[in-house]
Amino acid sequence: MTARRVCIHTDGACSGNPGPGGWGALLQWNGNERELSGGEDQTTNNRMELRAAIEALNALKRPCAVDLYTDSTYVRDGITKWLDGWKARDWKTAAKKPVKNADLWRELEAAASRHQVRWHWLKGHAGHEGNERADALARQGMKNWQCQ
C-alpha angle with apex 39: 9 to 75, nearest 5 degrees? 45
Identify whether the C-beta of residue 143 lies closer than 8 Å to the C-beta of residue 21: no
Residue 41 known to be catalytic: no
* Residue from 40, 49, 55, 107 carrying the catalytic annotation: 49
Q: Please say if 103 is a catalytic residue.
A: no
Give yes or no for a contact between 29 and 142, defined as CB atoms under 8 angstroms apart: no
**Distance in angstroms (rounded) separating the CA atoms of residues 27 and 31:** 10
DSSP single-letter state for residue 79? I
Alpha carbon of 97 to those of 49, 91, 93, 100: distances in Å? 21, 8, 5, 9
- The residue from 9, 78, 135, 141 that is catalytic is 135
User: Partners of 70 in the beta sheet?
Assistant: 10, 121
The catalytic residue among 33, 35, 41, 125 is 125
Residue 67 annotated to the active site = no
Active site residue 11: yes
Q: Which of 11, 40, 55, 107 is catalytic?
A: 11
Residue 125 known to be catalytic: yes
71 catalytic residue (yes or no)? yes
Out of 9, 12, 21, 115, pick the active-site residue: 12
Check 24, 71, 115, 141 and give the catalytic one.
71
| Residues identified as active-site | 11-12, 49, 71, 125, 135
